[in-house]
Chain A
Amino acid sequence: MIFHLAFRNLFRNIRRTVAVLLTVAIGAGALFSFKGFINGILEDYRENTVHSHYGHGQINTLNYRETVYEKPWEHWIDNWYEVDDFLTKQPEVEHVFPRIGFSALLKNGDLSASGQGEGIVAEEEADFFHSLNIVEGESLTTQKNGIILGKGLANALKVQPGDNVLLYVNSAKNKFNKKEFTVTGIFYTGAVDFDNRIFRVQLNDAQSLMKTNSIEKISIGLKEYTDWEKVSQAVEDRFPDLETAPFNELDKVYYQHSIDWLNTQFSVVQVIIIGIVLLGIFNTISTAILERKQEIGNLRANGESSFDVLRLVLTEGFLMGIIGSVLGIGLSFFILMTFLNHGIKMPPGPGLTNEMFISFKFNWKMLFQIFILNFSVVMLATILAGFKTVRMTIAKALRSH
């Protein structure tokens, strides 16, 4: 009967009920949309990081990344064919990319610039690292002696596709070595530091230039990024002299800091939305309850305990919380999927120079979290609004006007 009365009470003052439902719905919708877009940004960041720079993770020799060596090639992976073979057999692994990194001086006539080179198996990497945005020429695939450069580096050297660039390196034999490459393409990732420094050549060209058969690292492309832990553990168990690092650790400055920044931003906005919803509902429900003081007095006079009356008020809050949250989340979802399904154009994110589209990413966990959060806020507001009134003495409630 309490549920029946609580339900009927929703129709007592339609305008007020609509006001509460709208407040709850807008709160739920705002939290849901914002969380969805944050998820979209995080996923874009993750995919961008994975598919432009690092893959899902990387393998080096133990402590290689933390240590600065005078001759780093002495600490590269010698038995990399064995590692490659092991990785290829793992069901979670889709791609294995052996690489070497090296510093070089690039020259084009009188112009020179220092850069950070990557020797890669270009044909295999071309599909996976699709975020590498080629703005001039074509991506490096099978071209012998081909080189692709970041836009900043290409600008510094004033080269375009088809031009030649001379690379000078200090080889693994501790001797200067040089080799001429032909620019096949110029890329632009949006990450300024990357675009100003990085160039890529074929792995065997790089090995020949560096006079080594080893590789510096192996990047891995997984079927699912969530499989990283399993693969990482398998590699470290099988090859104790190697260590693994996931992409978020490799790109802490860009990726992990961006994630932390966005999550903090979401928490702050979440608190603001919750505060607004809490105050809005508290205010409306307080007024509604105060207007019913005599009625509450009557209920109490006829044997209802203050807990019974609080239960009635909470049931009303419960219904409004459920209806408002479902309405808000449902409507937001409909609008996002219908009118904003292509995403929203945003200015460049932290560390980026190009505009991006952020899209709404839905998952059930987030739906559940937002629903529970919003619903809890409604219940809290109802308790705060109802607590004082339902504890009022019966005589005082009956005397009030």
Chain B
Amino acid sequence: MNNKYLYELHDVSFSYKLGNLTVPAVQNISLKIKCNSLITLLGPSGSGKSTLINLLGLIEPIQEGDLRLDGKNLNILSEKEKNQIRRNKIGFIFQHFHLIPVLTAEENVAYFLYRQKVPKGEVKEKVEKTLRSVGLWEHRMKKPSELSGGQKQRVAIARALAKDPKVIIADEPTASLDQKTGKEIMELFAWLVKERGVSVIITTHDPMVESYADEKIHMQDGKIVSEVLA
């Protein structure tokens, strides 16, 4: 199904349990996220942006409200179906990269492709294509410990990209990088949206990151306070 909107949220709420306390993290959010766009989620710590991307990435269960991805209602999915969506439709990028330290850059990218049961020959092609696209083909045999922060994040991007996801969800992807490397990474995200037709949702505090956004969503106290189109 070709949908105009990648995500559709209606009255979504989520709260954490802290002992006997219930802490609302996201409250009554209704939102539509377009396909093929770069969205930034902005807001101070504790504003709920990480919780929101966790909900978008099916990392947290939906407690209240409706959430649709590509027109499909995610509320009713089994754990197995959610795993399949995470495996095939969503790419994740984290602040601390979370690469598998015992595998080379090439193997890190290939791992989830093999787990997607992509044929071996196709895996090789995809790995080469994505590593070349992030400029790391020459470093393919290096393990994460032998790469710089920027290079690690590029491997993480290649890993997410190789899956041919609908959306890449990135939680503070530039926070561990210097300004120059951060810019390079954002250039790469912008290129992915433009050239590969992938949607990218990024949480950030960084004004530099904001400047690349097609849409900026500001959050505070678990609520959306503004949505600004670039």
Contact = CB atoms under 8 A, between A and B. Distances in A.
A360 B76 CA distance: 63
B92 A5 contact: no
In this complex, the member of A11, A12, A305 whose beta carbon has the largest number of chain B beta carbons within 10 angstroms is A305
Contacts of B60: 393-395
Contact of A5 (B54, B86, B87, B100): B100
B83 A303 contact: yes
Contact of B98 (A8, A12, A295, A303): A295
A304 B115 contact: yes
Interface in A336-351: none
A173 to B, nearest CB: 91
A394 B54 CA distance: 9
A303 B88 contact: yes
B112 interface: yes
Q: How extensive is the interface on chain B, given as a class? A: 20 to 34
A303 B100 contact: no
A294 interface: yes
A302 B79 contact: no
Contacts of A297: 98
A265 interface: no
A1 B115 contact: yes
Nearest to A294: B98
A302 B156 CA distance: 12
Given A1-B111, A1-B115, A395-B59, A302 B100 contact: no
A9 B102 CA distance: 6
A111 interface: no
Nearest to B82: A303
A12 B57 contact: no
B84 A303 contact: yes
Contacts of B112: 302-303
A5 B112 CA distance: 12
Interface in B87-112: 87-88, 91-92, 94, 96, 98, 100-103, 110-112
Contacts of B180: none
Most buried by A among B57, B79, B84, B86: B86
Contacts of B163: 302
A294 B100 CA distance: 10
A398 interface: yes
B155 to A, nearest CB: 13
Interface residues of A, number: 21
B114 interface: yes
B226 to A, nearest CB: 26
A145 interface: no
A298 interface: yes
A12 B101 contact: yes
Interface in A1-48: 1, 5, 8-9, 11-12
A32 B60 CA distance: 49
A302 B96 contact: no
Contact of A295 (B59, B79, B100): B100
Interface in A352-401: 393-395, 398
A22 B29 CA distance: 55
Interface in B118-155: none
Contacts of B83: 303-305
A203 to B, nearest CB: 77
A301 B79 contact: no
A302 B86 contact: yes
Contact of A395 (B54, B80, B86): B54
A393 B54 CA distance: 11
Nearest to A10: B102
B95 to A, nearest CB: 10
B115 A12 contact: no
Query: Which of B84, B100, B110 has most A Cβ within 10 Å?
Result: B100
A297 B57 CA distance: 13
Nearest to B171: A398
A298 B144 CA distance: 15
A301 B80 contact: no
B86 A301 contact: yes
Nearest to B80: A305
Given A301-B57, A302-B86, A5 B80 contact: no
A318 B59 CA distance: 29
B57 A303 contact: no
A8 B107 CA distance: 11
B87 to A, nearest CB: 2
A301 B100 contact: no
Contact of A11 (B100, B102, B115): B102
10 closest A-B pairs by beta carbon, nearest first, are: A303-B87, A298-B98, A8-B102, A1-B114, A303-B86, A394-B59, A301-B92, A305-B83, A303-B83, A12-B102
9 contacts: A12-B101, A301-B86, A302-B86, A303-B84, A303-B86, A303-B87, A305-B79, A305-B83, A393-B60
Interface of A: 1, 5, 8-9, 11-12, 294-295, 297-298, 300-305, 308, 393-395, 398
